[in-house]
């Protein structure tokens, strides 16, 4: 995941900024009412803007967060406090050290929509939101999956013991799809437990479990955006934290993969299963980058994407993604030698072909020096060429391109 070339100030680094960006009358209101933020400064100490989001996840209570006593009186002259005043001050500091929590309350809202200056540009973000919201809706129908989840991952014919986070997600979505009274409240209670479990057990997950967890979290984030703010889903901090933790763990597994995999980019040398894993990650990355175009989504800043790209790599062609098995996948690959070519959406809104040699098996950009030195890492392509092979995911990319042009 990577944000667009211009990343706004971090919302999580300064909760006081949560009230910003809500001045526009947008149809999808993700901002918090001012009344919820009135007591924020009374409950928490002053936020240090130098602390990043990753540091914030591991913040422990220390003396730097304790309120500091003023060194002078209101009249500006210094005086020695009385014994009673000194005892009272010590008592106040002692009480504060026990009353300040180690981390901000989970009820702080963080998924805030980005403001739009021109009214005429509102149509594109609305259409993108509608497209993203359709993905959980697809899952509410049995035997239907959004174009970011490969059917083989949840096929009943295959043993998918490592995909439990995703299968749990599908079951929960089916529950709220039935419209049973109270199902929404029960759904978000289970989502909270899943986020807590991911945060506690992520080190024991293999890479397929990490992929399944990230796919489930993606659906939960999209449902949260669809619902808006309710009492049941009031744990944005926990949801975003789980996304960051799983993303970090996936990055650690990439390091191992880079040292063990010598044939990462050899086309057909990669098995169908490995291709499905890589392509699933690509599609997740595109979703999160597009989400970051619409709302302030802190985890997107963790991704390393060259500044001359807005979205890259883009999803693979329909023939490969919809191949039912490895035989059909290989047949399609052999039928068209150029079908494995990867594309990217440049920062200027144009479609380009990528140099696969600069991408690892985890789609990390391997040669930063060559990119910075403007070594050709892409070649121009036509929208017609790319559109001729897109599946249901292509519409989202085209809307995102319309947003950045």
Mean pLDDT along residues 347-367: 75
- CA–CA gap between residue 368 and residue 305 (Å, rounded): 10
Mean pLDDT along residues 210-224: 97
Higher pLDDT, 266 or 330: 330
pLDDT of residue 376: 46
Mean pLDDT along residues 12-40: 39
Mean pLDDT along residues 362-380: 56
Higher pLDDT, 119 or 272: 272
Q: How confident is the model at residue 113 (pLDDT cuts 50, 70, 90)?
A: confident
Q: Where are the domains of the chain?
A: 119-404
* Res 369 pLDDT > 90: no
pLDDT of residue 109: 84
CA distances from 143 to 149, 170, 210, 393 (A): 12, 10, 23, 18
H helix or E strand, kind and range, residue 254: helix 236-260
Q: How confident is the model at residue 211 (pLDDT cuts 50, 70, 90)?
A: very high
Q: What dihedral angle (degrees, nearest 10) is formed by the CA atoms of 374, 294, 129, 363? A: 30
Q: How confident is the model at residue 177 (pLDDT cuts 50, 70, 90)?
A: confident
* Res 256 pLDDT > 50: yes
pLDDT of residue 121: 67
> Taking the CA of residue 350 as centre, how many other CA atoms within 13 Å lie in the half-sphere pointing to its CB?
10
Q: How confident is the model at residue 263 (pLDDT cuts 50, 70, 90)?
A: very low
Residues 6+ apart with CB under 8 A from 170: 139, 154
CA distances from 195 to 87, 237, 242, 299, 362 (A): 44, 10, 6, 15, 24
* Res 57 pLDDT > 60: no
pLDDT of residue 401: 93
- The Cβ of residue 284 has, within 10 Å, a number of other Cβ atoms equal to 20
* CB-neighbour burial class of residue 62 (10 A; exposed 0-12, middle 13-18, buried 19+): exposed
CA distances from 254 to 49, 172, 201, 360 (A): 31, 30, 18, 9
Which range, 28-32, 85-89, 272-276, is most confident? Answer: 272-276
pLDDT of residue 119: 57
CA distances from 379 to 107, 256, 293, 354, 375 (A): 47, 31, 25, 7, 11
* Res 53 pLDDT > 70: no
- CA–CA gap between residue 165 and residue 283 (Å, rounded): 18
* Res 55 pLDDT > 70: no
Mean pLDDT along residues 128-137: 96
Lowest mean pLDDT among 201-205, 287-291, 339-343: 339-343
* Res 230 pLDDT > 80: yes
pLDDT of residue 117: 57
* Res 301 pLDDT > 60: yes
Per DSSP, 343 falls in state E
H helix or E strand, kind and range, residue 240: helix 236-260
- The side-by-side arrangement of strands in the sheet containing 378-380 is 309-311, 343-346, 351-354, 378-380
* Res 32 pLDDT > 80: no
pLDDT of residue 94: 45
* Res 287 pLDDT > 90: yes
Q: Are 37 and 18 in contact (CB under 8 A)?
A: yes
CA distances from 7 to 23, 139, 231, 235, 405 (A): 20, 32, 30, 24, 16
Q: How confident is the model at residue 120 (pLDDT cuts 50, 70, 90)?
A: low
pLDDT of residue 284: 94
- CA–CA gap between residue 197 and residue 218 (Å, rounded): 16
Mean pLDDT along residues 281-293: 93
H helix or E strand, kind and range, residue 90: helix 83-99
- CA–CA gap between residue 116 and residue 81 (Å, rounded): 53
H helix or E strand, kind and range, residue 83: helix 83-99
Write the pLDDT tens digit of every residue in 134-167.
999 999 987 889 999 999 998 866 566 789 999 9
- H-state helical runs in 263-393: 272-294, 318-321, 326-335, 368-372, 383-387
pLDDT of residue 71: 39
| Phi-psi map region of 21: left, alpha, beta (phi>0 left; psi -120 to 50 alpha) | left
pLDDT of residue 149: 96
Write the pLDDT tens digit of every residue in 71-103.
333 333 344 445 455 445 444 444 444 454 555
* Res 19 pLDDT > 90: no
Per-residue b/e over 153-171, b at no fewer than 16 CB within 10 Å? bbeeeeebebbebbebbbe
Instruction: For CA atoms 282, 287, 288, 292, give the dihedral sign.
Output: positive
* Res 49 pLDDT > 80: no
* Res 222 pLDDT > 80: yes
Q: Mean pLDDT in the chain? A: 74
């Amino acid at each position: 995941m990577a944000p667009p070339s211009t990343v706004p100030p971090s919302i999580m680094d300064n909760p006081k900024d949560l009230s910003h960006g809500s001045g526009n009358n947008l149809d999808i209101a993700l901002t918090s009412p001012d009344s919820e933020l009135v007591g924020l400064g009374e409950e928490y100490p002053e936020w240090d803007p130098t602390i990043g989001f990753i540091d914030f996840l591991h913040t422990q209570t220390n003396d730097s967060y304790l309120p500091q006593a003023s060194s002078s009186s209101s009249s500006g002259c210094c005086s020695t406090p009385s014994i009673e005043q000194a005892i009272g001050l010590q008592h106040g500091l002692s009480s504060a050290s026990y009353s300040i929590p180690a981390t901000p309350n989970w009820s702080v809202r963080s998924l805030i929509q980005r403001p739009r200056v021109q009214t005429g540009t509102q149509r594109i973000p609305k259409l993108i939101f509608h497209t993203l919201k359709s993905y959980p809706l697809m899952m509410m129908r049995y035997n239907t999956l959004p174009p970011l989840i490969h059917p083989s991952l949840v096929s009943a014919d295959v043993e998918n013991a490592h995909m439990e986070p995703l299968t749990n997600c599908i079951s929960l979505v089916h529950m709220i799809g039935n419209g049973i009274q109270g199902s929404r409240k029960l759904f978000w209670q289970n989502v909270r437990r899943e986020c807590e479990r991911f945060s506690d057990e992520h080190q024991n997950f293999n890479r397929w479990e990490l992929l399944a967890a990230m796919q489930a979290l993606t659906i939960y984030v999209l449902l949260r955006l669809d619902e808006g703010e309710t009492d049941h889903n009031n744990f944005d901090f926990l949801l975003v934290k789980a996304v960051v933790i799983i993303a970090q763990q996936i990055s650690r597994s990439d390091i191992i993969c880079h040292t063990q995999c010598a044939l990462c980019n050899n086309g057909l040398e990669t098995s169908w299963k490995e291709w499905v894993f890589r392509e699933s990650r690509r599609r997740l990355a595109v979703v999160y980058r597009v989400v970051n175009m619409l709302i302030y989504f802190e985890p997107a800043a963790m991704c390393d994407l060259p500044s001359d790209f807005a979205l890259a790599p883009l999803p693979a062609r329909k023939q490969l993604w919809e191949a039912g098995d490895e035989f059909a996948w290989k047949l399609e690959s052999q039928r068209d030698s150029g079908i494995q070519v990867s594309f990217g959406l440049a920062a200027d809104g144009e479609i380009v072909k990528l140099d696969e040699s600069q991408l690892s098996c985890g789609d990390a950009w391997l040669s930063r020096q060559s990119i910075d030195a403007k070594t050709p890492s892409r070649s121009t392509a036509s929208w017609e060429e790319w559109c001729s092979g897109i599946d249901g995911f292509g519409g989202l990319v085209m809307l995102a391109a319309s947003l950045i042009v």
